[in-house]
C-alpha cells in the first residue's frame, strides 16, 4: 500500500476513534449537569409520581449506558433524537427532531464562518508573507504589534467595540444580526457584517503570525542560502522557495482557525443574537434540553476533527518524502 494512502487511512481511523471518545465525554458531562428537565417543567410542587411518569415518558429513567447506546445508535443512522423543548406539563407533545432544529442554524453558522474565512485567510497570508519579506522593518513591527493586541482581546470585547463604533456612534451596521431564510443574500451579508468582522479580527492575528514564523524559519535553510548566493531576489525566494515548503504548518493553522470559526462562534452569536448553532446550544443549556445540547456539541466536535484531519491529509500530500517513496 502506498505510504500516503496508508497514512490517510490511519488518520481517518484515528479521527473516528477520537469522535467516539468525544461522544462519550459529551454524554457523560451532560449527565453531571445540575437540575432535571422533568422537575423544571412540572415545577417544585409536582408529585413524585407525576415527575417519575414524565421522566419515563422522556426515557430519563433508563440507565445512563443504555441511554448512551440508544443515542449513539441513532446518531450513526442520522437521528440525533427528539428535542425536549416542545413538551409541557399538559401532556401535549409539540417536540421536533433535533436534526430539524440544528439544520437551519448550522446553515447560518456556516454562512457566517464562510464570510469570515473569505476575508481573513487572504489578509492573513498577505500580511504574513509581507511581514516576513520586510522582517524587522517598521511595517513588520507595526503588524506584529497590532496582531498581538488583537490576540489579547477576547471576542466579546472586540464585538462590543465594533458595536460601539459601527452601530451606536455611527449607524453603519445593525446592532443585532437578525436573519431569516427569506432574507436576500445582499441583506444577509449586510446584517452579518459585524459578527464576521469580529471573527476576522480574532483569527487573522493567529494565521498571520504563524505564516510569518513558518517562512522565517525556512529562510535559514541551506537551499535558501544557496538561492541568496545566486543573487535571487528576496521576494522570489519567499514566494517560490520558502512559501511552498511552509504550506504544511500554514495549512494546519488555517484549518485550526477555520474550525474555530464554526466551533468558537458561541460567544459571538450570543452577543449579536445571531441564529446559529452556538445560540441554539446556549438556549438548550438554559432549558436543559439535553438532546439538542448533545447534538450541537457532537457537531462542533465532528467539525473540528474533520477540519484537522483535512489539514493533516494536505500536509501529508504536500510532503515530497511521501509522494516519492524509495
> pLDDT tens digits for 35-89?
666 666 666 666 777 777 777 777 777 788 888 888 888 888 888 888 877 655 5
Q: Is the pLDDT of residue 19 over 70?
A: yes
Task: Write the CB contacts of 169 (distance below 8 Å, at least 6 apart in sequence).
Answer: none
Task: Work out the pLDDT band at 264, boundaries 50, 70, 90.
Answer: confident
User: How much is the mean pLDDT over the chain?
Assistant: 81
Phi and psi angles of residue 119, each rounded to the nearest 5 degrees, phi first? -85, -45
Task: Work out the pLDDT band at 90, boundaries 50, 70, 90.
Answer: low
What spatial distance separates the first Cα and last Cα of the chain, rounded to whole Å?
A: 13
Q: What is the pLDDT of residues 284-314, one digit of tens each?
A: 887 778 888 888 889 888 888 888 888 777 7
Which whole number is the average pLDDT over 252-281? 83
Say what percent of the chain tops pLDDT 70: 88
Helices 138-152 + 193-218 axis angle, to 10: 130
Check residue 134 and give its pLDDT: 82
Q: What is the pLDDT of residues 145-160, one digit of tens each?
A: 888 888 888 888 888 8
Task: Write the CB contacts of 268 (distance below 8 Å, at least 6 apart in sequence).
Answer: 155, 156, 159, 195, 198, 199, 274, 278
Distance between CA 249 and CA 210 in Å, rounded?
Answer: 8
Distance between CA 97 and CA 85 in Å, rounded?
Answer: 10
* DSSP bridge pairs for 93: 87
Cell 477520537: give the residue.
Answer: 18
Task: Work out the pLDDT band at 324, boundaries 50, 70, 90.
Answer: low
Q: Are 192 and 186 in contact (CB under 8 A)?
A: no
Cell 443574537: give the residue.
Answer: 273
Helices 290-317 + 64-76 axis angle, to 10: 50
Distance between CA 190 and CA 147 in Å, rounded?
Answer: 25
Task: Work out the pLDDT band at 320, boundaries 50, 70, 90.
Answer: low
Q: Is 274 helix (H, G, I), strand (E, B) or coil?
A: coil
Which whole number is the average pLDDT over 206-211? 84
Distance between CA 320 and CA 221 in Å, rounded?
Answer: 16
326 or 36: which carries more pLDDT confidence? Answer: 36
Check residue 184 and give its pLDDT: 87
Burial class of residue 71, CB neighbours in 10 A (0-12, 13-18, 19+) = buried
Which whole number is the average pLDDT over 133-148? 86
Cβ neighbours around 95 below 10 Å, total: 18
Going from the C-alpha of 24 to that of each of 71, 145, 153, 179, 296, the distances in angstroms are 11, 42, 33, 34, 14
Q: Is the pLDDT of residue 91 over 70?
A: no
Check residue 138 and give its pLDDT: 92
Q: Are 292 and 308 in contact (CB under 8 A)?
A: no
Check residue 29 and give its pLDDT: 84
Cell numbers of 46, please? 409536582
Distance between CA 89 and CA 41 in Å, rounded?
Answer: 6
Full-model pTM = 0.81
Which whole number is the average pLDDT over 217-240? 77
Q: Is 293 helix (H, G, I), strand (E, B) or coil?
A: helix
Domain extent listing, the chain: 3-76, 103-286
Fold classification of 103-286 is MetI-like fold (1.10.3720)
Task: Write the CB contacts of 8 (distance below 8 Å, at least 6 apart in sequence).
Answer: 313, 316
Amino acid at each position: 500500500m502506498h505510504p500516503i494512502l496508508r497514512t490517510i487511512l490511519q488518520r481517518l481511523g484515528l479521527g473516528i476513534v477520537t469522535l467516539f471518545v468525544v461522544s462519550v465525554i459529551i454524554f457523560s458531562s451532560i449527565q453531571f449537569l445540575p437540575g432535571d428537565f422533568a422537575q423544571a417543567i412540572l415545577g417544585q410542587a409536582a408529585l413524585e409520581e407525576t415527575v417519575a411518569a414524565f421522566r419515563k415518558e422522556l426515557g430519563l429513567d433508563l440507565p445512563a449506558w443504555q441511554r448512551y447506546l440508544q443515542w449513539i445508535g441513532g446518531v450513526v443512522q442520522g437521528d440525533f433524537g427528539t428535542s425536549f423543548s416542545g413538551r409541557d406539563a399538559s401532556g401535549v407533545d409539540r417536540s421536533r427532531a433535533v436534526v430539524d432544529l440544528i439544520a437551519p442554524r448550522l446553515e447560518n453558522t456556516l454562512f457566517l464562518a464562510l464570510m469570515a474565512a473569505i476575508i481573513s485567510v487572504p489578509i492573513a497570508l498577505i500580511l504574513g508573507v509581507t511581514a516576513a519579506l520586510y522582517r524587522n522593518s517598521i511595517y513588520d513591527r507595526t503588524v506584529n504589534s497590532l496582531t498581538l493586541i488583537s490576540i489579547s482581546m477576547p471576542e466579546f470585547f472586540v464585538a462590543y467595540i465594533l458595536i460601539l463604533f459601527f452601530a451606536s456612534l455611527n449607524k453603519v451596521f445593525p446592532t443585532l444580526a437578525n436573519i431569516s431564510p427569506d432574507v436576500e443574500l445582499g441583506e444577509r451579508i449586510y446584517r452579518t457584517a459585524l459578527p464576521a468582522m469580529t471573527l476576522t479580527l480574532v483569527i487573522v492575528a493567529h494565521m498571520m503570525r504563524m505564516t510569518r514564523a513558518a517562512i522565517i524559519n525556512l529562510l535559514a535553510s541551506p537551499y535558501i542560502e544557496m538561492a541568496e548566493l545566486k543573487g535571487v531576489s528576496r521576494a522570489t525566494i519567499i514566494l517560490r522557495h520558502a512559501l511552498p515548503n511552509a504550506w504544511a504548518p500554514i495549512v494546519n493553522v488555517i484549518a485550526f482557525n477555520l474550525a474555530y470559526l464554526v466551533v468558537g462562534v458561541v460567544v459571538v452569536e450570543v452577543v449579536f443574537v445571531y441564529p446559529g448553532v452556538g445560540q441554539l446550544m446556549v438556549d438548550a443549556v438554559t432549558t436543559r434540553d439535553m438532546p439538542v445540547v448533545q447534538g450541537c456539541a457532537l457537531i462542533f466536535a465532528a467539525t473540528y476533527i474533520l477540519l484537522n484531519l483535512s489539514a493533516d491529509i494536505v500536509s501529508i500530500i504536500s510532503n515530497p518524502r511521501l509522494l516519492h517513496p524509495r
